[in-house]
Amino acid sequence: MNIIRTVLGDIRPGDLGHTQCHEHLFIERGKSAEVSGVLLIDDPVKSEKELALYKRAGGGAIVDAQPVMAGRSARWQMAASRRSGVSVIAATGFHKTVFYEDDSYVFGWGEERIAQLYVNEIQNGMLASRGDGQSATRARAGLIKAAVDEGGIFADATYQKLHTAAAWAQRQTGAPLMCHVEPNADAAEIVNFYRDKGVAADRLWLAHLDRANKDPAAHRDLLSEGIYLEYDTIARFKVHSDEDERKLIMQMLEAGYGNRLLLGLDTTRARLKSYGARTGLDYILETFLPYLRANGATGEQCGRMLVKNPQEALGIAQ
């Protein structure tokens, strides 16, 4: 039997509903915000208002992809989920090293200690906040986040250590592993690395390939390995149009890979209505899905990507 591990406890896959698989609800002040101001999402009232908009539009669950000690707040995630009625699946794991201070655990800890941190967050409880290495919460993480920068997994010893730790934690817990992919990174190298480390193909997601690699043939090759591609360049008009996104999705659907696509918005402060943006968490439900259905996708295909696929991709065997 599979379960979905949310911050408020384990639920059945069928209880998820419409699920966006890569969002950011809350990022505390720290190195991420120093790198980019849009990565400061620190007002619980505004973020809860955003979740309420999502719930009213038909949203059932989201994946909050901010990992441990990188601005994630487990206590706030619990409160927001409880008040909104939206299930929140939280991430352990790591982001790009540019988002960490020089004295961060990602640089100073050994591989085994890092892997155990990720396992503990999934099995026992997440650390409370960015800088707190001691206090734990009752909330447990439901997936592992990893990140590949332009130089790839083998860019330096730190990245090799972190990815090896993430793979070990995945094997120990059975949790899904989502990998952020930067442009120019070799996606095939990522798949090969994790396969060689014993991570099953259907446990691995590659995020952002819809903006990191514009070659549909490369996407089809990756999907043929049995992994998931998580597309989130929707309403990112500085990157490409929603029509470009629709065309890419339709190509994958027509190639028979509708069972391996996940969707999200990869929200930032600049992409949340409650923080003053024009778009918000409800954009897929209110705007993109109607556009997709009016231009080639069936209701069944849309439900597959946003309901059925998340149920399978987020499941953890018990």
Q: Looking at 62-66, 151-155, 179-183, 205-209, which range is the least confident one?
A: 151-155
For residue 129, name the pLDDT band (cuts at 50, 70, 90).
Answer: low
pLDDT at 55: 98
pLDDT at 143: 98
pLDDT at 138: 86
Dump pLDDT digits (tens) for 256-280: 999 999 999 999 999 999 999 999 9
- For 2-317, CATH number out of 3.20.20.140, 3.40.50.300, 3.30.70.1400, 3.40.50.720 equals 3.20.20.140
How is the chain classified by DSSP, letter by letter? -EEEEETTEEE-GGG--EEEEEE-S-B-SSHHHHH-GGG-B--HHHHHHHHHHHHHHTEEEEEE---TTTT--HHHHHHHHHHH--EEEEEEE---GGGS-TTSHHHHS-HHHHHHHHHHHHHT--BSSTT-SS-B-S----EEEEEE-TT-TTSSHHHHHHHHHHHHHHHHH---EEEEE-TT--HHHHHHHHHHTT--GGGEEEE-HHHH---HHHHHHHHTTT-EEEE--SS-TTT--HHHHHHHHHHHHHTT-GGGEEE-----GGG-GGGT-S--TTHIIIIIHHHHHHTT--HHHHHIIIIIHHHHHT-EE-
Residue spans of the domains in the chain: they are: 2-317
Per-residue pLDDT, averaged over 11-27, amounts to 97
User: Which position has the higher pLDDT, 308 or 132?
Assistant: 308
Per-residue pLDDT, averaged over 171-183, amounts to 97
Mean pLDDT, the chain, integer: 95
Per-residue pLDDT, averaged over 24-38, amounts to 93
Percent of the chain with pLDDT over 70: 97
pLDDT at 135: 58
Q: State yes or no: pLDDT of 313 exceeds 60.
A: yes
Dump pLDDT digits (tens) for 78-113: 999 999 999 999 999 999 999 999 999 999 999 999
pLDDT at 131: 47
Dump pLDDT digits (tens) for 224-263: 999 999 999 999 999 999 999 999 999 999 999 999 999 9
pLDDT at 132: 44
Dump pLDDT digits (tens) for 39-53: 999 999 999 999 999
